[in-house]
Structure 1
Amino acid sequence: MSRKKLKKKGIEAAIRKIFERQPDQKYNAKEVSAILQITDKNMRKLVLSILNDLKSQNYLNEFQKGYFIFNDSYQNNFIGTVDATSRGSAYIIIDELDSDIFVQAHNLENALHGDTVEVEVIKQRKNKTEGRIKKVVNRKTTQFVGTLDVKNKFAFLILDNNKINVDLYIPLEKLKGAKSGEKAIGRITSWPKGVDNPFGEILEVIGMPGNNDAEMLSILFKNEFEIKFPQKVIEEAEKVGMDLDQEEVKNRKDLRNKLTFTIDPFDAKDFDDALSYEVLENGNIEVGIHIADVSHYVRKGTAMDEEAYQRGNSVYLEDRVIPMLPEQLSNMACSLRPNEDKFAFSAMFEMNEQGEIYKEWFGKTVIHSDYRFAYEDAQEVIEGKSDTLKEPILALDQIAKRLRKERLKNGALSIESEEVSFIIDEEGKPTGVAKKITKDANKLIEEFMLLANKRVALFVGKLPGNKGSNSQFIYRCHDKPVIEKLQTFSVFINKFDYDLEFENIDNVAQKINGLLSKIKDTPEYDLIQTMAIRSMSKANYQTNNIGHYGLAFDFYTHFTSPIRRYADLVVHRILLDHLNKKQKNYGNQLNEISEHISNQERKAIEAERESNKFFQAKYLVDKIGEEFEGTVSGLADFGMFVKMNDNHCEGMITIQSLPDDNYYFDNDKFQIIGRQTKYTFNFGDQVKVKIKDVDMLKKQVDLTLIE
């Protein structure tokens, strides 16, 4: 630090002491200088500059022109959570502040991503507050996954998480037999002050890098998902039998005589929803939406309930599922398997062929699924290629189409997220890429699940007399989009010669739906749809109902998947209390549940994304040197991303490797531009690329431009 900076820092500390000793006294620069015995003209100017800095930091208030007084509401230290960047710096998220506090790498001390810390504000400008870590209040985790690098006298565990910019120092006697190059789980044992790296020990070896099991376990561990169920949870699950309690059957509405069936993916094992269909004597249709009654088996306060809460949801990786509940429940006792009597929580609707509802009923039932359709089977019925349960399938399909049409008319977004998965052989090798195509059979199930979720939210969530929303409930919310993001999306699609102006939020869905319908069969459709999704807010769970923008529902919740989502399990319990006229006050408990399961959902999405990137790299590793047609799918100051048209995999071309010129990224124009040739690369450009390299450790694909 320079002598000038040291001098300024010393004077600032002295000025702070003056105001802290006399917090009710006002001073001007001349008076402060006199107290500090500063007579030099330039130094007095420095005093005035420091006083203005302290005012901008809210440490001082300007009592009147040129006079300053201590701000008694000033707070310099805060408790927050570390959100680290891959560059080594971090932002500290403070609940009570509107903006985060930025901390440079050298001021982080020993704080790691996710830790709860005490941070001290050291600089405050108009748009940025900077601080330094005073202490770690609570370490988020002391266990990490990484790859071992064993030297002659010591070893390092090089951590997978790129938000943690230190490696774990491992003495050789604490390797537990682990070898160099292996992936392992390590634990911090100590971190002496002034030492760059924490000391640790190896807890468990999980395999070699590139091995499917090792990589998937690594992803799950990094995102803090447990792989195994605790013994107590397993013991509770094993006590759940397949036979129904006949005394409980007597307390439920018996619907086993109604035609009931499931429609699911062909490889599904947990069936958490079924539909029943009956034409009534008055000509109306009764549709039953039957949901696995998980709450009957998983009681509040049990080990199974606590474990389900901690997990928050099932995690779907490319080659495996990490269930929220043990298999005895998820695939057996709770699953609405064909030709078995099952307990369900049902939503029954009497409606006409247009989907208009005349009556509704919610309650505990016992059902019997007569038939199991895969989506492909039901689609064949809809397309006239099969007659299996033809009447109910076609009738429900028509109602679903009318429900969807009504949603879109009311302002729902017609966006279908692009899902690409890998075909994996028995040896764990990806042999092909499959793109999910949503057809009428998928939409049939989707619309009836949306209907059940909406009607449950209205039934429980809406206060009598239209006085607002019941705060003792968990809603699935989706906020309106931020206009700045929409303007960025507008600039993006302009590169494809499409012009959308977003003057207000009210017509956003209509305009985006119109654009997507217009470009359905173009090469850029998938890319524009992906960018449309990114321009929207993220859905989450809340007790403060703000509605669901994307679905155009004022009331919406999650009720239909309690086998794989904890939110639905809680909603089942609240709905049952409501039906039984039990008015419970949960206090802040539902807020805590909502925040936790929203966080778990985000982590599951990240784990699923990492899993896809690993199998993408594994699929392309033996295709190095091959050439592919592709579409520019992303631009940044370090290069551009290209999605290959045939296999839907994405790689990156570094900006330095672009031929024939020195290129730069223009953030305002969303272009990469050649300094001499002025040649530009835009989103959606069609290019030809060669796979240059595949880094399995980083799950990264490097491309070079051919033309």
Structure 2
Amino acid sequence: MAKNTSAPNSAAKPKKKDLAQAVINFLNQNRDKQFNYKQIAAALNINSQEGRQVLIKVLDKLRDEDILLETSRGRYRSNNRGLILEGIFERRSNGKNSFLPDDDGNPVFVSERNSKHAMNGDRVRVQLLAKRKRADTEGVVLEVLERAKTRFVGTLEVQKHFAFLVMDSKILANDIFIPKEDLNGAQNGDKVIVEIVEWPEKANNPVGKVIDVLGKPGDNTTEMHAILAQYDLPYKYPEQVEKFAETISEAIPAEEFGKREDFREVFTLTIDPADAKDFDDALSVRKLSPSTWEIGVHIADVSHYVKPGDIIDQEAENRATSIYLVDRTVPMLPERLSNLICSLRPHEEKLCYSVIFEMNENAEVLKHRIVHTIIKSDVRMTYEDAQAIIETGKGDYSTELLKLNDLAKILRERRFANGAINFDRYEVKFNLDENGKPLGVYFKEAKDSNKLIEEFMLLANRTVAETIGRVPKGKHAKTFVYRVHDVPDPEKLDDLNTFILRFGHKIKTSGTKVEIAKSINSLLDRVKGRPEENLIETIAVRSMTKAIYSTKNVGHYGLAFDYYTHFTSPIRRYPDLIVHRLLDRYLIEHGSSVDQAKTEEECKHCSKMEQVAANAERDSVKYKQVEFMSDKVGKVYDAVISGVTEWGIYAEINENKCEGMIPIRELDDDFYELDEKNYRLVGRRSKREYRLGQLITIQVVKANLERRQLDFRLA
């Protein structure tokens, strides 16, 4: 990046007008790149703190005037967009709709009258309107290019000649009008799925028809199905796919025994949650010499049963993942495959795809091989069973289990020494009665038995990715599916560091990846057990990028691996099934590389569906939390502020982790303004502040099951 020779003198305080022109010139010279303010300051030779402060004000002004674009928080580039853009429409029930252009530029406000009935998530073409002074950029929708969603969930209100759908989510400002002949047998008060069939130009309400009746509001199954339907996720398995699964034989073909390595006589075990039925991984242990061990990571060979393009494969590809709601699993594969034929059940011969490691006492891999196998698991343990043996050193198969645990601990220590980040999160779980009603809340934390399985799965995933991805210099790796996690945005790390300084902590924001990761780990260790632990861990997680699937390998920052994939869960994740097929193609058939563009599209679909499933899972937890709190209205609890927004503060109750909101109208002692950068609301007159992580006492005001929302007030 060349220095800008027309930059203002760094010693003097730069004039805003000169600096603005210098910024415009610099960004125009680098039209296809984006920069944060530090990079712009360096390019313009601005070294003083005072000069940087002026630069920040200039950048804000140029952004507000649309002369430059802020592509993400704190990153800028030249605004060379035209007047007509394509992108995604975001609808809000309060009429504050916005358009997110494909060029990553600033969001554009679209008023209701200019929306052309575009719905949330629709792909649209927009024309920008002439900008008025000190006003947001506005646009008008010219055309809806692609509908994101046409089906909505809600409660039916039937009147004499027609009906309306009152929606659970407040994405549409208007209810959906349903003619009487399109009710599909639904009754007043039913929870239903409605499809929008048209939205006439001059009509206020879209017109729809009932396509499925879910049941009565408040019924557990109705509500779980409603959550799935809200995200366009399936809540039942297509009959024809189930029937096809019934035709698949459990019997292992005789020719498979000759093709595979036989591990039926080698001690093998599975360790899974107590309520699991889909066992897709097993570990075998065999002593080879006084100082070497053979450890087998055996994964259900789903690709033997599910062939590319068959009816089960099409359904699995569409779903891309199993979904784990509070009270049920919505499987990616039909249950005959996921819980019976492919599941590595004890004392049954099963086909596997395996990574076999020869390891020494220091958990160093001396050699490995990736092979098709046949196994026969000796024992099925729950995590609790395995944990009891690890803690006491006693029990059946304790020798093998303790050896696996010793090796896993060394692998884990080595991973953290190499710069892996240690985010140990807990899961909120519920004790439910037979009707799905929550009786209690508990927290599930990862113990040694969980970590043991995790380490060997990580090792297998990394080894598979390296086998395909690491090629001799000058050669190109074949197209593959990687699980990637990019390095954190430097700007976000700077924000994190600024924020934690108030608690007396700091992290490295520059240096090698390992140095930065070790610094974050050190921070997480220091805050353990301190009042600010939850807050700092939350902000640290937010400063990280999201892990996704991609054919473009950038490594996995959080795990500190240069190569990583998902190979170990093909029963519940479609990317793992793709990986199994690619291994067959490259290692066994010695086939050519698959089409990268097509595989990248698969990766994007799987990443998207993973996020959608996570949102549905979160909503099911939220529903159960609200249901659990519904008989506790009026009670007072200690809580911690878990979110700060312009419409109020979110608080999480300490004893059960149930989260609710204190609306801004409840904070009526002052006018509170949002300080986004410092995660706080500040009273304009009193300067009283409510900040993320602050301990407060709340009273439960309302539990709204329909909106899955708890309302609190300050006690």
Smaller-chain TM-score bracket: 0.7 to 0.9
Query: Is 2:190 aligned against 1:182?
Result: yes
Q: Structure 1 stretch 364-373 or stretch 678-687: which is displaced more?
A: 678-687
- Among candidates 631, 654, 657, match of residue 648 of structure 1: 657
Q: How does 1:213-252 map to 2 (within 5 A)?
A: 213-252=221-260
Q: CA deviation at 1:467?
A: 4.5
- Structure whose CA Rg is larger: 1
Q: Which stretch of the first structure deviates more once superposed, 253-262 or 575-584?
A: 575-584
**Alignment CA distance shift 1:189-1:655 (3 Å):** closer
Deviation string for 1:114-135 (max 9, x for gaps)?
Answer: 3233333335799986432212
Residue in structure 2 matched with residue 27 of structure 1 by the alignment: none
Contact 2:480-2:582 within 8 A present in 1 as well: yes
Q: Which residue of 2 aligns with 1:525?
A: 533
1:149 aligns with 2:160: no
Kindly provide the CA deviation profile for residues 265-319 of structure 1, in whole angstroms up to 9, marking residues without a partner as x.
1111100000000110363111000000000000001011111000010011111
Q: Displacement of 1:628 after TM fit? A: 0.9
CA shift for structure 1 position 431: 0.8
Measure how far apart 1:246 and its partner are.
Answer: 1.6
Q: Bigger CA drift: 265-274 or 118-127?
A: 118-127
1:619 aligned partner: 628
- Superposition TM-score, scaled by structure 2 size: 0.84
Displacement of 1:263 in angstroms is: 0.8
d(CA) in 1 for partners of 2:150, 2:600: 27
Cα distance in 2 between the residues matched to 1:491 and 1:705? 29
Q: Tell me, yes or no, if structure 1 residue 591 matches structure 2 residue 584.
A: no
Contact 1:272 1:291 in 2 (8 A): yes
Match for residue 542 of structure 1 among 550, 563, 575: 550
The CA deviation at 1:495 is 4.8
1:253 equivalent to 2:261? Answer: yes
Residue aligning to 2:313: 305
Aligned mate of 2:365, from 357, 374, 383: 357
CA distance in 2, matches of 1:644, 1:605: 22
Query: What is the Cα deviation at residue 158 of structure 1?
Result: 1.9
Q: What secondary structure is seen at the aligned counterpart in 2 of 1:383?
A: helix
Would you say the 8 A contact 2:479–2:594 is kept in 1? yes
Distance 1:100 1:252, change over 3 A: farther
Q: Deviations over 1:563-603 (max 9, x none)?
A: 00000000000011111212233242101100111110110
**Equivalent residue, structure 1, for 2:346:** 338
The question of 1:272 aligning with 2:280 is answered: yes
Please identify, of 80-89 and 393-402, the stretch whose mean Cα deviation from structure 2 is larger: 80-89
Question: How much does 1:422 deviate?
Answer: 1.6
Question: For residue 509 of structure 1, what is the aligned residue in structure 2?
Answer: 517
The code of the aligned residue for 1:490 comes to: N
Correspondent of 1:635 among 615, 619, 644: 644
- Over 3 Å counting, the alpha-carbon distance change for 1:176 and 1:637 in structure 2 is same
The alignment of Structure 1 onto Structure 2 pairs a total of residues equal to: 639
- Please state whether the residue corresponding to 1:588 is helix, strand or coil: helix
Corresponding residue for residue 695 of structure 2: 686
Paired with 1:96 and 1:687, the residues of 2 have a C-alpha distance of 42
The counterpart of 1:484, out of the listed 482, 488, 491, is: 491
Q: Counterparts of 2:105 and 2:681 in 1: how far apart (Å)?
A: 34
Equivalent pair of 1:473/1:571 in contact (CA under 8 Å): yes
Summarize the Cα distance change of 1:260–1:469 in structure 2 as closer, same or farther, 3 Å threshold. Answer: farther
Q: Measure the CA separation in 1 of the matches of 2:242 and 2:691.
A: 54
Indicate how the Cα distance of structure 1 residues 623 and 219 shifts in structure 2: closer, same or farther if over 3 A, else same: same
Task: List gaps (5 residues or longer) in structure 1.
Answer: 1-54, 59-72
- What's the CA shift for 1:646? 0.9
Report the Cα offset of residue 493 of structure 1.
3.2
Q: Deviations over 1:600-630 (max 9, x none)?
A: 0110011011111111100000000111111
Please tell me whether the aligned partners of residues 425 and 445 of structure 2 are also in contact (alpha carbons under 8 angstroms): no
- Point out the more displaced range, 683-692 or 439-448: 683-692
Question: Tell me, what secondary structure is at the counterpart of 2:295?
Answer: strand
Distance 1:175 1:222, change over 3 A: same
Aligned equivalent of 1:472: 479
- Superposed counterparts of 1:14-93, under 5 Å: 76-85=83-92, 87-93=94-100
Deviations 1:524-578 (A, max 9, x none): 3233223221211001011111111100111000000000000000000001111
The match for 2:439 is 431
**Rounded Cα–Cα distance in structure 2 between residues aligned with 1:376 and 1:208:** 38
Could you tell me how far apart the structure 1 residues matched to 2:476 and 2:495 are?
34
Superposition deviation, residue 523 in structure 1: 4.0
The one of 677, 700, 704 equivalent to 2:709 is 700
Distance 1:86 1:490 in 2: 36
Letter in 1 for 2:656: N
SS, match of residue 314 in structure 2: helix
> What is aligned with 1:49?
none
The answer for the alignment partner of 2:417 in structure 1 is 409
- Matches of 1:512 and 1:560 in 2, distance apart? 28
Q: Any conservation in 1 of the 2:532–2:693 contact (CA below 8 Å)?
A: yes
* Counterparts in 2 of 1:596 and 1:416: CA distance versus 1, 3 Å: same
**Is the contact between residue 185 and residue 206 of structure 1 (CA under 8 Å) also seen in structure 2?**
yes
TM-score, normalised relative to structure 1: 0.85
Shift of 1:438: 0.9
- The answer for unaligned runs of 5 or more in structure 2 is 1-64, 69-79
State whether residues 88 and 163 of structure 1, in contact with CA within 8 Å, keep that contact through their aligned partners in structure 2.
no
Task: Give the CA deviation at 1:94.
Answer: 5.0
**2:398 is matched with which residue?**
390
Instruction: Tell me, yes or no, if structure 1 residue 560 matches structure 2 residue 568.
Output: yes
Q: Secondary structure at the match of 2:375?
A: strand
Question: Counterpart of 2:631 in 1: which secondary structure?
Answer: helix
Q: 1:306 to 1:129 in 2, by over 3 A?
A: farther
Instruction: Please state how far the C-alpha of 1:189 moved relative to its aligned partner.
Output: 2.5
Distance 1:80 1:635, change over 3 A: closer
What is the identity, as a one-letter code, of the residue corresponding to 1:561?
S
Shift of 1:642: 1.5
The answer to which of 586-595 and 178-187 deviates more is: 178-187
Could you tell me how far 1:102 is from its partner in structure 2? 4.8
Instruction: Tell me whether 409-418 or 271-280 shows the greater mean CA deviation.
Output: 409-418
